[in-house]
A and B are shown apart, each in its own frame.
Chain A
Amino acid sequence: MKETGYWTWFIISGLITFFILGLHMLIVHLDGMLGIFSHADGGAVVWENVIQRSRSQFFSIAYIILLGAALYHGFYGLRTILLELGIGKQAQQRLTKFLWLTGILLFLVGTYVSLAVRTMEAPIL
């Protein structure tokens, strides 16, 4: 049951990553044509535009969800590869715990950065 849960969330996180990363790619590569998300001149990757997106509620939430989904998806894949090495049951449990803790830690760091940008008073130039 535990593995079924892991696999189900692996699929769900893959779908989430596909759509939010798709949106991210759309903004970075096509916003020159679309011009929806980049208000300052110079394209989507100009610092002012990056900060502006990061401060919007929609993008903050979207990037935090993307971070969680990408971390889960990536770490599940890494776990699958490592389990194929034929390690023992106890080592498998330790590995799973280690990857969970690392993932959660990275998620907290990323979330902090994402939220910290929102509270900055002036753009950093």
Chain B
Amino acid sequence: METENQQKRNIIFHIRRFDPELDEVPRWQKFTVSVEPGMTVLDGLHHIKETQDASLSWRYSCRMGVCGSCAMLINGIPTLACNTQIMDVTSQKLTLAALPNFDIIRDLVPDLTPMFRDHVSIQPYIQRDDNKEMENPTREFFQTHDELEEYLQFTYCIKCGCCAAACPTMAADRKYMGPMPLAQAYRYNKDSRDGGQKDRNDVITASHGVFSCHYAGECSNVCPKGVDPARAIQHMKKDLVLGYLRLRKDKKPCQVVGIPTGESKPAIAAPEHTVK
């Protein structure tokens, strides 16, 4: 018991609050929380809400780094509150704010609507001409391991918005599409089953699209899932330039092959992280 108490530490939470009905601009509020090892930032926020201020608002759902809801600015870095242990990032003071580059709905809740609107605009789903097969599949699509690896890491994106919050281009240009929708455009463009590349490219090559990226690379540095959006954007630029110069053939969606046997296939290992 005594050891447990010795390990506990009082941490001051500086939280950027904003109530659109009361505040004209965001304000800072301090809370002191007794933190023990293993406590996450999300646990700390729950503790404040239960014991100190029930009006504190933030967004969360899964508590295990899967849903991406609890992304916020923790000590100046956009990351997930559920994935961040307080004692790993501070011994005295913790600063929390809503994700930058988004409007604030309330306290730590950013308005991610523009990001999701851009995400929808790139048509983030597999598009093919054979709708009949898509709706009532009778066979399997042929895809090699190498083809899968081309886009696999980008499927790990949880749409938390950390990349957009860290992006300096987004800070300067609020119309910029942002790393997440662009990386997802690359993910579907690279999928050998997909045939919607042309439509998608028309969207991403408009102004404030892929060519607005200045390659700061911060999106990849902060991604809590190890996705590398900067890599996707640069590869997409390269593909577009090669396509413009007619040095690359248009991709043809793969064909259906064989009838599913129901047998399990060997597992494919997760790709190596391209960001250290």
Please tell me if the beta carbons of A84 and B205 are within 8 angstroms of each other in the complex. Answer: no
Let me know if A61 is at the binding interface, CB within 8 A: no
Task: Give the A-B contact count at a CB cut-off of 8 A.
Answer: 43
- Tell me the complex Cα distance, A3–B177, Å: 15
The 8 Å CB contact of A7, one of B169, B172, B173, B211, is: B211
Known: A80-B212, A83-B207, A83-B208. A4 touches B175 (CB 8 A): no
Please tell me if the beta carbons of B207 and A86 are within 8 angstroms of each other in the complex. Answer: no
Residue total for B at the interface (Cβ-Cβ under 8 A): 21
Query: Which A residues are in CB contact (< 8 Å) with B212?
Result: 80, 83-84
The 8 Å CB contact of B206, one of A3, A5, A8, A80, is: A3
- Tell me the complex Cα distance, A81–B276, Å: 31
Please tell me if the beta carbons of A84 and B172 are within 8 angstroms of each other in the complex. Answer: yes
Known: A3-B211, A4-B240, A4-B243. A86 touches B174 (CB 8 A): yes
Please tell me if the beta carbons of B173 and A5 are within 8 angstroms of each other in the complex. Answer: no
Let me know if A11 is at the binding interface, CB within 8 A: yes
Let me know if A1 is at the binding interface, CB within 8 A: yes
The 8 Å CB contact of B173, one of A2, A11, A83, A92, is: A83
> Hey, what's the 0/1 contact readout for B180-214 against A, CB within 8 Å counting as 1?
00000000000000000000011001111101100
Query: Which A residues are in CB contact (< 8 Å) with B201?
Result: 4
- Tell me the complex Cα distance, A98–B212, Å: 20
- Tell me the complex Cα distance, A80–B173, Å: 10
Please tell me if the beta carbons of A4 and B208 are within 8 angstroms of each other in the complex. Answer: no
Let me know if B245 is at the binding interface, CB within 8 A: yes
Please tell me if the beta carbons of A4 and B205 are within 8 angstroms of each other in the complex. Answer: yes
Let me know if B9 is at the binding interface, CB within 8 A: no
Interface of A is mostly: helix
Query: Which B residues are in CB contact (< 8 Å) with A11?
Result: 241
Please tell me if the beta carbons of A7 and B174 are within 8 angstroms of each other in the complex. Answer: no
Known: A80-B212, A83-B173, A84-B212. A8 touches B245 (CB 8 A): yes
Please tell me if the beta carbons of A4 and B241 are within 8 angstroms of each other in the complex. Answer: yes
- Tell me the complex Cα distance, A5–B207, Å: 12
- Tell me the complex Cα distance, A86–B171, Å: 12
The bracket for how many chain A residues form the interface is 10 to 19
Let me know if B237 is at the binding interface, CB within 8 A: yes
Nearest chain A CB to B188's CB is how many angstroms away? 18
Nearest chain A CB to B243's CB is how many angstroms away? 7
Query: Which A residues are in CB contact (< 8 Å) with B206?
Result: 3
Please tell me if the beta carbons of A4 and B174 are within 8 angstroms of each other in the complex. Answer: no
- Tell me the complex Cα distance, A5–B241, Å: 8
Cβ-closest chain B residue relative to A80:
B212
Across chains A and B, which 8 residue pairs bring their CB atoms closest together, nearest first?
Answer: A84-B173, A7-B211, A3-B205, A4-B240, A4-B244, A8-B241, A8-B244, A84-B172
Name 17 A/B residue pairs within 8 A (Cβ), A-sorted: A1-B205, A1-B244, A3-B209, A4-B240, A5-B244, A6-B211, A7-B211, A7-B240, A7-B241, A8-B240, A8-B241, A8-B244, A80-B211, A84-B169, A84-B173, A84-B212, A86-B173
With A4-B240, A84-B169 given, name 15 new contacts (CB 8 A): A3-B205, A3-B206, A3-B207, A4-B241, A4-B243, A5-B244, A7-B211, A8-B241, A8-B244, A8-B245, A11-B241, A80-B211, A83-B212, A84-B176, A92-B207
